[in-house]
Amino acid sequence: MDLSAQELNGWLISPEGEWCYQFHRDPKSWKRYPIVLVDKWKTRNDGIPSQMKSRRKLPLDEALELCGHMILDGWKKLADQFGESPEIGFIDEVSS
């Protein structure tokens, strides 16, 4: 799968709505070997991310695998958060 830097963005929310994960490209990583930052967020009662709990750096293939497993486990795609522009990203690729 050939993805551009702009497509390495997306949010997933847990089936219970308690946690969400943000996947986004590490701007310091090389274009040929992209690293994806995976941020874990605690959510408010309305499902809005409120407090970042942890961050992991994963190679693109591992981030795609993690995202795919999460979707299979019932995690749902979240609409853009914090005013980010809506775009089709790798979460759309994985979930289709």
What type of residue is 45?
N
- Residue range 4-50, pLDDT digits in tens: 444 568 899 999 999 999 999 998 988 888 999 999 999 998 888 89
Q: What is the pLDDT of residue 48?
A: 85
* 72 three-class SS: helix
Topology, domain 5-95: Nuclear Transport Factor 2; Chain: A, (3.10.450)
* Domain map (residue ranges) of the chain: 5-95
Strand 9-13 and strand 19-25: the pairing is: antiparallel
**This prediction's pTM:** 0.76
